[in-house]
Structure 1
Amino acid sequence: MNSTWGHYYNVIKRVSSLSGQWPYQRSKTRLFCVCLVTLSTISMIIPQIAKFTTCNGDLQCIFETMTSYMLTTVTLVKLYTCYFNRSKIKMLIDRLFVDWDELETPEEYEIMKKYAENGRRYSLGYSLYCFTAVCIFMCVSLIPQLLDVVLPLNESRPILPTYPGYYFVDEKKYFFYIFSHAIVAWEIAMTGIVTHDCMLLIYVEHVCSIFAIVGFRFEQLTCKRTDSMKILHSQSNDISRRIAFSVHTHRKALRFAELIEDIFSLTLAIQLALNTVMISITLLQITQQDSDILESLRYVLYVVAQLIHLFCLSFEGQKLIDHSLQTRDKIYNSFWYETSAKSQKMLLFVMRKSLRPIFLSAGKIYIFSMESFTTVKILEIYNALSKIEQFL
């Protein structure tokens, strides 16, 4: 990794190395990390299954267990999506590194740098958010224990489970052992989710940077800058060469985006389906009349976390759509009328290619965009609440 720009990807390198998804790791190290995350996740699935068997048909108990069980399922799906597609992920990372070496001007370097900094900032913020959110969610179960010390009652307050699970022991007696296992196991398992999502963020930001560079090249199509910053008109042959080079770069961006879609589309479809069910079930738990304040608080945090997660994906998906469409606008706003008729025909072909947006989808069905997020998800929550009211 080139040290001059490699630091922009140090966050994703470290996180993916922890979960065994960094393609340049040694095989034994990668296998050990994947097994560690898998065993940590399975160690939580077993208590969840045990809890499910003890529900005895109680719907509230079943729903509580399902939300936690679906999250661990998503963890394994994301982990092994990256693991089984490691050859394709290596291709993306190699392509990402090569693109830095193919930059021609300082302006293009600054464009690539800006998007790489955005990707690093988003990855760092998302990682801290995920790990902190899990810790806060778990630590809510400590509140009754703390209140027993600060504001004691005649009898101890009921135990608030760290997460829905049955450990085959007295939960009150072994509470801190269960809590320690839960917080360590969930934090380890969370690296699988963080790696998957941060890789997706980095790749989408990189594709957007390539589209931005292509747009910049088309804007500067008929111009070149000298040391005195004087703008001179380029020759026809030079313009044709620039168009051909820009078209080649544009095609690379399209192939990069297609490879991202090929790797992550199925995973996002499974995740979206489970997410929809989890939000509906969690809203049902919130509206239960016998739910106490702390449980309701955790359910609210859970729904908010799911919505934030979908917002991040929708934001990046919208960004990809906008950048893929902006190429035609950049060409239209350039000095295309000063080029030859042959060059203008070439530009028309590029504009026609840019009329079709590139998007991030879940199984080719749901397109991640801000419009989809603000309409479909809000409508989904409204319908879920309506059904819950009818159920109650």
Structure 2
Amino acid sequence: MFCIETEHFNLNRILLLSIGLWPYKRSIFVRLQGILFFSILSSFVILQLITLTIKKCTFDFFVKVCCTTIFFSIFAITYNMFWINTHSVKNLLDQLQYICNELKNEKEIAIITKYGNNAKRCTTIITSFATCSTFIATLLPVWPQILHIVLHKNESQSRPTIQLVPEYFDQEKYFYLLVFHINTVICIGAITATATATMLLGWIIYICGLFRVVSYRIEQAMTIEVLRNIHLENETVIYKEISDAIEIHCKTIKFSEFFSSTFQGSFFILISIGVISLSMNFFGVFQNLGQGNTESLILHIIGITVILIYMFIANYAGQEVTNHNNHIYFTAYNSRWYVAPLHAQKMLLFILQRSNKNFYINIGGIIAISLECFAALTKLSMSYFTVMYSMHE
């Protein structure tokens, strides 16, 4: 028995605690912290939308504001996704711990520990990447001034324009206040995206690990040594191993379905705005290429890169769940099931029928998370971009 929280989810716990989303020990201070952070993330989105009602709304300006608004709304949605589902997040952690506590021997624990270490490693890599990216992003607005001081230039220099801030603000007068606001939003948003994404990814990796334990139990039950000497004791062993494999398989599928149903509304919204944001950022790249606006071009390229990486990792993880479930089918099918006792064959038939169909992490029964889904979403984004570019021309 081991504690998944301290062994593999410790960094996730620290990240979620820092933004008030850890589901345990929800004090009044933590609740107020959640309200404050969500308000900060929402305020930036609202300020961007206000621009559309104040300034003359041309097509180019509309796309520019929407690119920023939709991208930063992802932070607010992911924060709200965990905030309103605090009880469900706690249940998911408790269910996963309960399933892991039922692992029988050291080899099964070694399997799940291996996958848990993979989840921990992915969390560390993603957190490191997000930290570096956030540090660079927060320096962008003030980098010209830092460079100006370092080079000891005496001539006066006008402050740079902050591309992410609505244009009706007096950026010269409120420069440092605006920089503080945007940097606060970026930091909270980056921690939110990293904490929630790595937590979701950790759960999916654990699902893969549990499916691998199912395959291991079938392999142990149908070993050549056991099947070669069929007697009453071995029949009992075979029956018990296959029964345990079916039990953990059913619990893992139930856990997966609860996982997808808990966040399916937020997932659907995130996928929709992700596709729209990707299309608009593609349009922004082509638009700024013609205008020679380098800073805006870089921001659009960053937006495209982040969304594509996020979408690919999510769909690749979903594909791995399908592959691990298929491995259960191949393990049972390739075993010497025809030598096993009759009641064991019937139980193996149950596993074959259950794992014969591809198992996907579904979102509302509409979207199946897989590499095929990633290709379809990317293609859909390019189609929307083509329509927007045709309208602009």
Greater helix fraction, Structure 1 or Structure 2: 2
What amino acid maps onto 1:20 in structure 2? G
Residues 19, 192 of structure 2: 8 Å contact kept: yes
What amino acid maps onto 1:270 in structure 2? I
Residues 16, 195 of structure 2: 8 Å contact kept: yes
1:172-209 deviation digits (Å, cap 9, x = unpaired): 23323321221123212333333322221111111111
SS at match of 1:345: helix
| 2:327 corresponds to 1:326 | yes
Aligned residue for 2:83? Answer: 83
Task: Report the CA distance shift for 1:321/1:121 in structure 2 as closer, same or farther (over 3 A).
Answer: same
Displacement after TM superposition at 1:351 (Å)? 0.7
Residues 285, 300 of structure 2: 8 Å contact kept: yes
Residues 2, 101 of structure 2: 8 Å contact kept: no
Residues 285, 297 of structure 2: 8 Å contact kept: yes
Aligned residue for 1:358? Answer: 359
**Distance across 1 between alignment mates of 2:320 and 2:25:** 31
Aligned residue for 1:72? Answer: 72
Aligned residue for 1:242? Answer: 241
Task: Report the CA distance shift for 1:277/1:266 in structure 2 as closer, same or farther (over 3 A).
Answer: same
Residues 211, 252 of structure 2: 8 Å contact kept: yes
| 2:296 corresponds to 1:278 | no
Displacement after TM superposition at 1:210 (Å)? 0.7
What amino acid maps onto 1:345 in structure 2? K
Displacement after TM superposition at 1:146 (Å)? 5.0
What amino acid maps onto 1:257 in structure 2? S
Task: Report the CA distance shift for 1:15/1:144 in structure 2 as closer, same or farther (over 3 A).
Answer: same
| 2:35 corresponds to 1:38 | no
**Distance across 1 between alignment mates of 2:325 and 2:172:** 56
Larger mean Cα displacement after TM superposition, 378-387 or 102-111: 378-387
Unaligned runs of 5+ in 1: none
1:322-352 deviation digits (Å, cap 9, x = unpaired): 1122111111233323311221121011110
**Distance across 1 between alignment mates of 2:152 and 2:222:** 76
Q: Within 5 Å, which residues of 2 pair with 1:352-391?
A: 352-373=353-374, 375-390=375-390, 391=392
1:112-152 deviation digits (Å, cap 9, x = unpaired): 01110111111222233334334433433334445656597
Aligned residue for 1:210? Answer: 210
Larger mean Cα displacement after TM superposition, 298-307 or 234-243: 234-243
Larger mean Cα displacement after TM superposition, 294-303 or 99-108: 99-108
**Distance across 2 between alignment mates of 1:76 and 1:162:** 20
Task: Report the CA distance shift for 1:194/1:29 in structure 2 as closer, same or farther (over 3 A).
Answer: farther
Aligned residue for 2:317? Answer: 316
Aligned residue for 1:6? Answer: 6
What's the RMSD between the two structures over aligned residues?
A: 2.8
**Distance across 2 between alignment mates of 1:75 and 1:285:** 21
**Distance across 2 between alignment mates of 1:274 and 1:258:** 24
Displacement after TM superposition at 1:253 (Å)? 0.5
Larger mean Cα displacement after TM superposition, 128-137 or 95-104: 128-137
* Percent identical residues: 21
What amino acid maps onto 2:18 in structure 1? L
Task: Report the CA distance shift for 1:139/1:59 in structure 2 as closer, same or farther (over 3 A).
Answer: farther
Displacement after TM superposition at 1:384 (Å)? 4.1
Residues 38, 80 of structure 2: 8 Å contact kept: no
Q: Within 5 Å, which residues of 2 pair with 1:264-303?
A: 264-288=263-287, 289-303=290-304
In the superposition, the TM-score normalised over structure 2's length comes to: 0.89
Task: Report the CA distance shift for 1:5/1:179 in structure 2 as closer, same or farther (over 3 A).
Answer: closer
**Alignment: residue pair count:** 386
Task: Report the CA distance shift for 1:381/1:243 in structure 2 as closer, same or farther (over 3 A).
Answer: same
1:7-26 deviation digits (Å, cap 9, x = unpaired): 31101111122232222123
**Distance across 2 between alignment mates of 1:44 and 1:146:** 25
What amino acid maps onto 2:186 in structure 1? W
In the superposition, the TM-score normalised over structure 1's length comes to: 0.89
Aligned residue for 1:106? Answer: 106
Task: Report the CA distance shift for 1:2/1:342 in structure 2 as closer, same or farther (over 3 A).
Answer: closer
Task: Report the CA distance shift for 1:305/1:330 in structure 2 as closer, same or farther (over 3 A).
Answer: same
